[in-house]
Structure formats: C-alpha cells, structure tokens
A and B are shown apart, each in its own frame.
Chain A
Amino acid sequence: MKLDSKVPEGPIGEKWTRHKFNLKLVNPANKRKYDIIIVGTGLAGASAAASLGELGYNVKAFTYHDSPRRAHSIAAQGGINAAKNYQNDGDSVYRLFYDTIKGGDYRAREGNVHRLAEVSVNIIDQCVAQGVPFAREYGGLLANRSFGGAQVSRTFYARGQTGQQLLLGAYGALNRQIANGKVKMYTRSEMLDVIVVDGKARGIITRDLVTGKVEAHSAHAVLLCTGGYSNVFYLSTSAKACNASAAWRAHKKGAFFGNPCFTQIHPTCIPVSGDHQSKLTLMSESLRNDGRVWVPKTAVKGLKAKEAANIKEEDRDYFLERKYPSFGNLVPRDVASRNAKTVCDEGRGVGPTGLAVFMDFSDAIKRDGRKMIEQKYGNLFDMYQQITGDNPYEVPMMIFPAVHYTMGGLWVDYNLMTTVPGLYALGEANFSDHGANRLGASALMQGLADGYFVIPYTIGDYLATIGWNDKIATDHPAFTEGIENVKAGVDRLLSIKGNKTVDEFHRQLGLIMWEYCGMSRSETGLTKAKKMIQDLRSEFWTNVSVLGSANELNQELEKAGRVADFLELGELMIDDALNRNESCGGHFREESATEEGEAKRNDDAFAYVAAWEYTRESQPENLHKEELRFENVKLTQRSYK
C-alpha cells in the first residue's frame, strides 16, 4: 500500500485555502442524514462533536469518563500558542510554522504544520467568544507570554489552567449541541473495537462501564479523539485512565501507526517519591522562565532541598546555562530532559533517590519580589508544596523528567483520515503535526485546530463520496461478530485467575519502557527490552488476576484490557525505535550522537514517517515509509548553544 499524504500542491501559504475549495461539500439538507461517531471528548473530541453538530450532522459522542469535562486535556497548564502577533514582536503564521517544524526536528509534514499555524489565530477568537477567561492586561486586551523556548510571546493562557478553561469552553459548546439534540452523549462507555466492512469504518463496539453491556453503534464515519499513549510507561503525567486501546484496536483493524517511538519527556516534573507512586505530576514549563536549573558541581549524596543553601554559589553547576548560553534554561524539552538525565547519571543528582535536579527561584524572588512570583506561579508553588511538603518560596524545587506526551499516533493524511477510509484520528491520537518533538503550548492548539477548524471541512469530502444511504445497520453480521469478539476478550481476561495484579504487570512494563525506550535508546537495550516485553506479555495472559464479573462496574477489568493493549503497543514502540537509527527530537539513539553527546539526525536515511501496519498477533509489523519533503524550510541540525 502506497501512503498518500494528500497534502495539496502549491505554495505553502495557499495549500489549505486551495484544499478547502477543492473539498467536496455535503448539502446542508443532507447533513442530518449522516451519522458520525466521535470517541473521546477532550479538546479534539468535544470541539469536533460541537462543530459537527452545529453543521447539522448527527453525532454520537463517547467517553469512558462520567463527563466530557474530565478528559485529560483539562490538565494542560501552560497555555496555547497562536500566531496573533498581538505583542508586535515579530511573530507571524510563517514563524509559528517554522518554529514548529524546527522544534519537531524536521519530522513533521510542512503542509499540516502550516495549516495548524494558520488556524491557530481562529482558535483564540473562538475561545474568547465562548467565554474562556484568558489572562488580560490592564488595558483589557489579551496577555501573552513566551513559553517553552519560543523567541516571541505568542502563548495565551488562563493562569495555570489553560487546558481546563479551553476544555470547559469546548464542553460548553458540546453541551449546547447535546441540549439541541444534535449530539447524543454516551458517558462511562469505552470503545473496544472498530467495525470495518469492505474496507470502510462503519461503527464501533462499546462496553457500558456501569452495567458491562456490550453494544454496537454504526455510523458513516468514526473519529478517534482518544489522546496519547504515555501510560505505556506506567508512570507519566497522563491521567490514570488514559490509554491507547481505542487507537490500538483501530490499528489492529488496519489503521497504520505513525512514529510510535516518538514520545516526549517533559523536563519539569515532581520526582518519584517511592514504590507507591501512581503517576507523575508536571510542573508547568513556564517555571523555567524564572527558575534556574542546577546540581552541585561535585556529587553530594542525598542532598535535600533544605540543604541546598549550604552549597556555595561557586560549587553549583547551572548546567543548562553553562552548555547553552543563548537559550539557557529555556532549551527545548528534549534537550533539558536529556541533560538532567546526564547529570544524574554522573551521580550529581539530588534528593533521596539521586534522580532529581534543583530548580531554583531564589534569584527571581530577589529580582522581582515574592509577590510577583506568587502572581505568576502561585498555584503551581502551592501544588508543589502539597505534594512534596517543601516550600518552593524558601527552598529550591526538585524536578526530574517524566513522560508527558506522545507525538506518535495513528497515521493520518492531510484530511486527518487514517489508512482505513472513514476512520479519522484527531488531536494527540494522531501523529501529524509535532514531528519528533512537540513545542510547549502546541498540544492544545493542535487538538482544537483539528476539532474546530480541520475536520468540519475535510470530513465532508469523504461523506459526500460515499453518500448518506451507504450505511450499515447494527444487525449486520460484522457488528454481531464484533460484539461476540469483545465479549470473548472480556471473558478471556476474567478466566485467567492468576496471581499477579494488573498494576503489577503495568508497572513492570513501565520500568522496561522507561529504562530502554525512555530518554535514551540503544540497539542492545532495545533488543533486550523487546524480549522482556514479549515474556511479560505471555506471562500476563497466563497469570493476571482480574476479580469480579463482566456484567458490573469492574475497574480492574477496564485496566486489564488497557494494559493488554499497552503490552502490544510497547513492543511496536521498541521496533520503531530500533528501526530509527538516528537521534531526532525526543528520540535519542546513543549510536547517533555528536562528539559532544548531542543528538545527531540522519536526514538522508530517516527523513520519513514510519507507518506501521499490523499483520497478525505476535507477528512483526510491516513498515511503510512516507517520505517527508521540505520545500520551505532548510534542514539544519538544531543548536541551542
């Protein structure tokens, strides 16, 4: 199968406009005859459901949460980028496009990224109109900050809760359509399979998490807005329920998986405190604007934050400022993370585990006063104190990298359609816009861009092609078979009755992934990990313990299904990491480094998207390559010196 990205021809700035004109339209009177299923109601899902409902389509939206407002988009803190250039500091659509391509280490499609930059300005307008209370200046106009190493101030924010406010805005728009009867909302419902008939996505199978009932839903198109798969690492900044099952099961039904090894490790998270750790908490990247990252020049074992003051200024190594004088503490996430790992590997890490570095605000407090710092980061400081018991106004914070986002995801073309016609992937669930590394404040932008401003245009092109009467009812054998398969899968998990809990398997998988497919990867490590995961997977299917029954609310059963999928996805990530013998963005291959130990890309061999095709259970997947063409941006090695 030849991958066709469907990126339109023409100058970069006109591609999207031309494409919109060339897309087929659905007659307004016919829109109500089309059913669309949307799985996941975070930023991408809620915005898509609302927008498509407004257009007149019949939407069925599904979430495993009790309410769309719980989706993990809500936890994004820092902000959302938009090329508004309100600050008159030289920003433009082209600059946002350029920064995103460069930040993604030249592994994203130019066409998609430029479109993202174009619609970014509409997103802000839309959100303000919905009543999102963005931060404002005294004059009443919107405030911006520079974020995640950007050289311009283009980030819009609502205190440290931007994701929450944007999600609640989309949730409001969704609620309006629910009230209007255009969207039917299914909560506490988990998608467990996609139904593909004659090569087209026709519906899904869900399980009602309260009653355990397995149901079929059919539609003309299915949109997966189900987020990323960071939880394959067990410990990540994702919410506990975040999972890859929807995407993975779609993958097994024919949707190619793009760049699965591209994961983002966020540099500023609260370090692990013990074996009980259930998730990691992110401290917003904005903290790096004022916090100085350091470790002692010579190792001090078990150095506590309270003892940091004992280390004299000349004995401190502000390693990011030292190595990258022009960007300092604001280097991109992958660089900051890797350097933190390096100093900890040298034994200079701090805290009881030695797996942490200091982030110090004492200079900023001296310079701007405590009040100013409180205004900027008050809620983050409070959160830090609640979790660790340390007061960051008085002692430095301790931070360590943690898995935060997955750039990889289902492969989609310019229309956001996967390799299965009629099956779309939006937001973090797709692989499209961030290349090998995502810039700060770009995730919210992409989720909303896909949902509000891309899918409403592109979906019509497919729907107009198939026609509204081309729909398969749920009594079709494909659906009954789908229901039986899902039930069988559930029963299989319950019947094992082994000795190890689901969490134990998940934790073990996470440790393997973090150790061998985390911040730095090597062929020997990856090969070893592949075997370990295979073993773990076979142990899982013989020794997992899932209590309770299928016909009731059963949280262990839910988790078991998700972990089973992670055990397969983990191996694909390893395969992808093995295949990509270059360092790019969040993917650092030890074999591909400069003499100074910095990442070295290999554009001649790897300037492509790795799209994996599922074959059969436990069989190697087929690799398809989508060559990336750079017509506007010149490929250079990233340098933040």
Chain B
Amino acid sequence: MKITLKIWRQTSPATKGQFKTYTLGHVSPDMSFLEMLDVLNQDLIKKGEEPVTFDHDCREGICGVCSLYINGRPHGPLQTTTCQLHMRTFSDGETITIEPWRATAFPIIKDLMVDRSAFDRIQQAGGFISVNTGGVPDANEIPISKKIADEAMDAAQCIGCGACVAACKNASAMLFVSAKVSQFALLPQGKPERKERVEKMVAQMDAEGFGACTNTRACEAECPKGIKITNIARMNREYFSAMVSSYEVAAGDGGAG
C-alpha cells in the first residue's frame, strides 16, 4: 500500500507546530498503525531527519498510553486503541492526517505526545478506597451480586487514554471521571467514601480545565473500552446527592474522606 501522512510536528510546548507531509511506499496491510509509524521513523532517521515523537508502549490495547487523532477521530476509524488499529482498515493511496489530542488540560510535549497527568491528579483527588495494606476482611466476607460486580468491571476497564477528552467537542473528561466514580459507587467497599470521593474528583476535574459535558455521546462512541455514558449519569446523581447531603469538606482534607 502507498500512504500519505500529514503529521503534526511541534518541537516543544512553547514553539508553534505545523503539519508536515510524508509518503510511505511499502505499507503492509498487516502492520499495526504504530508499526507503520515505526517504519516512517526508521526512514526519517536514515535520512537524518528527526523521527516523529509519539507515545506508545504495550501495543496490545491495555496500557492506554497510545493516542493520536487520526482522520478526525481519536484512535482512528475503529473503536479501538491506535496500537490495535491495522493498516488494512485504510485504503491504498489514502491520505491520513495525524494530530495530537487537543485539550488545554493535555498540553503538547512534543509532536504527537501530550501530557495527561491531569488524569493522575484527578485520581489522586479521590479515585481510590482508603484502606491500608493488611488488616482487611476476608475477600468473601462481603458478597457482591454478579450484576453489580460486572457493572463495576465495565466501568473499571477504562485505560485512561483520554480518547473521551479528545473526542469531545468540549474536551470534557466526564467519561473518564465517571468511570472511576461509578466503579466505587457500585461496590460496597467504596460506599464509606462515596460522597467525598465524587465531590473531590469533580472539583479536581474542573480545576484541571476540562470542559463540561453536553451529552453529544462522542466519548462513548470513541471509547476503545466501550465505557458507557450511563456512568456520567451516575456520576451526576452521585454528585448532586453528595452535594446536598454530605458534610462540607474542605479541599485537601487528606485521603478521599
């Protein structure tokens, strides 16, 4: 296959970026998208040009570090991660535009690599259950109905890639935040800190500069792990009921509660 690539190149956060066009002559349909970029980079190095910087690691769709906004969609045309996207999805002679995730909360580091540490800070605000190592009850002490466990698992599958933010016209992180809120709101282990958790995570989400949800459902359509917007509704419920019923908590109280 012959492929033309329009790739966003930007040397540092401060400098202005621009698109550069490259052509690749021999692309195998069995290559993954990232392998195609590997080939491009090898070519570039051989020519003495700087290779394209992009985040990637596990290449099996689970670490969540690969990103790329491909032809107007995060992770490209399929509902999967970029590393699991294969060139057979594209046609011979196609021009592919590759951009970084665009969001104020995800500043560009270099070329196609962005800084997603905002997600970590949201998790640090309360995306956990405050138990120390040791001294916990037996794992079977609290039965959890299979349905609830499954639903919690559906939410917990989030890989933190940020495709939801990239896909959303408002760069909203609600699908990401709500997935974690939901997982712990559903499980009995998460109940003690349920209210404080959602309050703190939402406050941090806002502080990071993510946008508001306008229910376009683009996040759900693009999420490589199929996280549903029912989680956002659940987060809204949790948040409103927490806000009207919880004790007031000052930010930075330590732990989720």
Contacts and interface: CB of A to CB of B under 8 A. Distances in A.
Direct contact of A and B (CB under 8 A): yes
Interface of A: 47, 50-51, 54, 65-72, 74-75, 84, 86, 122, 124-142, 158-159, 161, 163-165, 168, 171-173, 175-176, 178-180, 185, 187, 210, 237, 239-241, 273-274, 276-279, 281-282, 383, 386-387, 389, 452-453, 456, 501, 503-504, 545, 547-548, 552-553, 555-556
B117 A187 contact: yes
A237 B109 CA distance: 28
A129 B137 CA distance: 8
B184 interface: yes
A547 B50 contact: yes
Interface residues of B, number: 80
Contacts, number: 221
Given A51-B133, A276-B39, A556-B51, A66 B139 contact: no
Contacts of A163: 62
A326 to B, nearest CB: 32
Contacts of B254: 179-180
Nearest to A501: B45
Nearest to B63: A70
B80 interface: yes
The residue among B113, B156, B184, B255 with the most chain A CB atoms within 10 A of its own CB is: B156
Given A131-B183, A501-B42, A389 B50 contact: no
Nearest to B158: A168
A72 B59 contact: no
Which secondary structure dominates chain B's binding surface?
loop
Contact of B145 (A65, A129, A140, A553): A140
Given A124-B139, A179-B255, A276-B36, 16 more contacts: A70-B64, A74-B62, A128-B189, A131-B128, A133-B150, A133-B152, A133-B153, A140-B143, A159-B153, A164-B157, A165-B153, A176-B130, A274-B28, A274-B30, A387-B32, A548-B50
A163 B256 CA distance: 24
Nearest to B152: A133
B187 interface: yes
Interface of B: 11-12, 28, 30-32, 34-36, 38-39, 42, 45-46, 48-51, 53, 55-65, 78, 80, 84, 86, 88, 109-110, 113, 115-117, 119-120, 123-134, 136-140, 143-146, 149-150, 152-153, 156-157, 159-160, 183-184, 187, 189-190, 254-256
Given A66-B55, A133-B153, A273-B30, A86 B61 contact: no
B115 to A, nearest CB: 7
B247 to A, nearest CB: 19
19 contacts: A66-B55, A66-B117, A67-B119, A67-B160, A70-B65, A128-B139, A130-B128, A134-B149, A140-B143, A173-B131, A176-B130, A273-B30, A276-B28, A453-B134, A501-B42, A547-B45, A547-B49, A553-B53, A555-B53
Given A67-B160, A176-B128, A281-B59, A135 B35 contact: no
Given A72-B63, A278-B59, A282-B60, A142 B139 contact: yes
A175 B123 contact: yes
